[in-house]
Amino acid sequence: MVAYNGRMDLVFKALADPVRRKLLDELADTDGQTLFGLCSRMIMRHQLAISRQAVTKHLLMLERAGLIRTEKQGRYKLHYLQTAPIADIYDRWIAKHRNERN
């Protein structure tokens, strides 16, 4: 339970930042993107003046929280959305509440 709460802290911290939520939005739109793909979407679709280094840091926080995973495919490193931690949030509060109402 302690480990679970520790990870949940990371999840909520990761989700608390608007740039990181936009990165998740873009992966939900198209999964398996490169760092370049995500950087260009941040700049061109969200008008963010953000450096590649900053995006890399945000991605690292999302990865530590289990919200994304990275995979080396050939010569490319791709980023994938992982929804399990968000499903955990649903299970913890919403799923139970819905059952009670039903």
Partner 1 sequence: MIINVTSIFVDDQKKALEFYTEKLGFIKKNDMPAGEYRWLTVVSPEQPDGVELLLEPDEHPAAKAFKKAIAADGIPVTSFAVEDAQAEYEKLKAKGVVFTQEPVQMGPVLVATLEDTCGNLIQIASMDKDASNA
Give the nearer residue to partner 1 in terms of CB position, either 69 or 96.
69
Look at residues 65, 83, 66, 50 and name the one whose alpha carbon lies nearest to residue 13: 65
For residue 89, report the phi and psi dihedrals to the nearest 5 degrees.
-65, -40
Give the nearer residue to partner 1 in terms of CB position, either 9 or 31.
31
Q: Can you name the residues that pair with 77 across neighbouring β-strands?
A: 72
Pick from 6, 18, 28, 30 the residue near partner 1 by CB under 8 A: 30
Pick from 11, 27, 33, 68 the residue near partner 1 by CB under 8 A: 33
Per-residue binding letters, 35-64, with partner 1 (x by CB under 8 A): xxx--xx--xx------x------------
DSSP single-letter state for residue 90: I
CA distance linking residue 35 with residue 37, whole number of Å = 5
Give the nearer residue to partner 1 in terms of CB position, either 34 or 83.
34
CA distance linking residue 97 with residue 63, whole number of Å = 29
Residues that bind partner 1 (CB under 8 A): 30, 33-37, 40-41, 44-45, 52, 75-77
